[in-house]
Amino acid sequence: MEQAPSDTFESLSEAVVALCGRIHGAEYRLIELIRRLEALRPWNRERPDCAHWLNVTCGMDLVTARENVRIARAG
């Protein structure tokens, strides 16, 4: 991968820090929404819990989905 002329440590590090802030904010929002969804408990035989719903509906792997539900419940 070639370095573009404007790629400096400062510009790239600022971009990485800004993006990390947006990602962390989005992850916080996701956990909050999962907490609220989990509280509704709208599950059925096809999707017996929130983790399975996240897996099937959002394409999240089951281990990650279970961990997100665990974090949401703890919050």
Is residue 4 a part of any domain in this protein?
Answer: no
Residue 64 near residue 31, CB atoms below 8 Å = no
- Cα–Cα distance, 54 to 67 (Å, whole number): 11
Boundaries of domain holding 32: 9-74
- Cα–Cα distance, 64 to 29 (Å, whole number): 16
Is residue 2 a part of any domain in this protein?
Answer: no
Residues contacting 71, CB < 8 A, separation 6+: 31
The total domain count for the chain is 1
Is residue 32 a part of any domain in this protein?
Answer: yes
Is residue 40 a part of any domain in this protein?
Answer: yes
- Cα–Cα distance, 68 to 2 (Å, whole number): 37
What are the tens digits of pLDDT across the range 58-75? Answer: 999 999 999 999 999 998
Is residue 17 a part of any domain in this protein?
Answer: yes
What are the tens digits of pLDDT across the range 22-61? Answer: 999 999 999 999 999 999 988 888 789 999 999 999 999 9
Is residue 3 a part of any domain in this protein?
Answer: no
